[in-house]
Chains A and B, each alone.
Chain A
Amino acid sequence: MRRLLVLGAGTAGTMVVNKLRRRLNRDQWRITVVEERDRHFYQPGFLFLPFRRYAPKQVSKPTERLLDDSVELIRGQIWQVDAAHDRVVLSDGCELPYDYLVIATGVRPRPDQTPGMLDGGQWRRSIFDFYTYDGAVALAPALDRFDGGRLVVHITDMPIKCPVAPLEFAFLADDFLRRRGLRDRVDLTYATPLPGAFTKPIAAARLGSMLDERKIAVEPDFLVERVDGHKLVSYDEREIPFDLLVTVPLNVGAEFVARSGLGDELNLVPVDRHTLLATGYDNIFALGDANDIPTSKAGSVAHFAAEVFTANFVEHAAGRPMTGSFDGHANCFVESGHGKGLLIDFNYDTEPLPGTYPVPGLGPFRLLRETAVNHWGKLAFRWMYWHLLLPGRPVPLPAHMSMAGKNRPEE
């Protein structure tokens, strides 16, 4: 029996084991996945929990139910990968040998990495994150109580998963406060280490003007050094006071990645950006947020990459060259409040451009434009996630980005 071991049953891990289970002969392959949690979270739903648009029970399911019956699930915490001996060690000492390893343990927010954030006495009192289930749930009553003052939405450092999520949070907060008649009593600030709302110029201009329209002040190039009581302090000594801080802490890969000597300074696994094979190894891949590819950390990227990876893996395991090449394709709905949203679609080489998706000229989705259909697309995605993406069913969206339907604005 050949043995494929997958670490993490999040978005990437679940899709990959379910897809490969169909492609790899059951008599020849044993597929095992290791996961420390017993529930799988639909993380895009965390955005809506603070505003009570989703109920907590809508964003999670038992992990076990999402995996094909013939995939072996081991509940446990990964301690270390011993790549020299092709085995993984769990915290309880259990050892799991493998022929092929897929690291899909994602990234997680680490408020402990910024002095004063977790340990300053304000965590979950006036400082919240919505990148974890607990954080998003705890923020709901804090927003209910908030009746004016300084609300700061903040990104600690890049990269983060779903880089548009903090912007969406700011747009939804603006909408939420308007509905409650509180908007005039609130100073809303968006503090980012980037020079503007987004990295790529066309989307940055569009999203930046959406912040302006909503009178959300932007504090660019703001790299936080520490949190001092009710103030964010940057390395260049700027200070941003807050009454309520919604921060995205530093996003870091799993500790075991560092412990195993497989990670960079953020515990991300360096990989070949087209095949996702870990640099220096022939039998270790890193999928989803856990790797260092230069595109967004997003479920959509995990999905498109998994399509390419699955076909490649079958070739690789048969001793043939991998013929697929991942292009960095990402697409993200950007919820903008007032029942509307945008869509962005891009890859390693092409920045988000205006146009239509997925059918050129028809859409129904509009790229870089606020429409109600885009908002419905975002909401429909939850159903797609549970019923099509995670089970690894074919989704009628090409893995590679297409230029059809896109137009480049004149300089």
Chain B
Amino acid sequence: MPVTTIDGHRIHVDEEGFLTSYDEWSPELAERLAAQIGVTLTDAHWKALTFLRQDYARQGETATLRRVSTQGGIPVKELFTLFPKKPAKKMAYIAGLPKPHGCV
């Protein structure tokens, strides 16, 4: 597993840069990860990210867009505005979670 250093913190990531260790994430790190992919975090972003982190802790898997919208109460349309083009991937990346399966 590759290791990378951001702001002096060593973090474990997969080939595509998704964090592989739930506990190595922090809100500050999220700001940095978001900036890397051109996203500036607002309260609305944080609502989605917080849901994603909490849901992952319960389910052991990264939530799909449909799940974020039905269980987390954020419409899919809004997710596309907050995290343009590939919201599922971008949210997972910033939230420090594995890339969503997209199912087989």
Contact = CB atoms under 8 A, between A and B. Distances in A.
Please determine whether chains A and B interact with each other in the same assembly. Answer: yes
Interface of A: 157-159, 163, 193-195, 199-200, 221, 223, 225, 235-236, 264-266, 294-296, 330
7 contacts: A221-B86, A235-B77, A235-B80, A236-B80, A236-B84, A294-B101, A294-B103
Given A157-B66, A264-B67, A296 B76 contact: no
A125 B21 CA distance: 51
Contacts of B80: 223, 235-236
A223 B65 contact: yes
Contact of A294 (B70, B79, B85, B104): B104
B85 A223 contact: no
Nearest to B78: A235
Interface residues of B, number: 18
Most central of A193, A199, A225, A235 by chain B CB within 10 Å = A235
Contacts of B65: 223
B67 A265 contact: yes
Contacts of A221: 85-86
Given A225-B76, A294-B104, 15 more contacts: A157-B66, A158-B103, A195-B102, A199-B103, A199-B104, A200-B104, A223-B65, A225-B77, A235-B76, A235-B79, A236-B80, A264-B67, A266-B66, A295-B104, A330-B104
Contacts of A200: 104
Contacts of A225: 76-77
A294 B62 CA distance: 12
- Indicate the member of A163, A200, A264, A296 with the most B CB atoms within 10 Å: A264
Nearest to B72: A265
A195 B65 CA distance: 15
B26 interface: no
Contacts of B101: 199, 294
Task: Find the residue from A225, A236, A294, A296 having the highest chain B CB count within 10 A.
Answer: A236
Nearest to B69: A265
Contacts of A163: 104
A163 B86 CA distance: 21
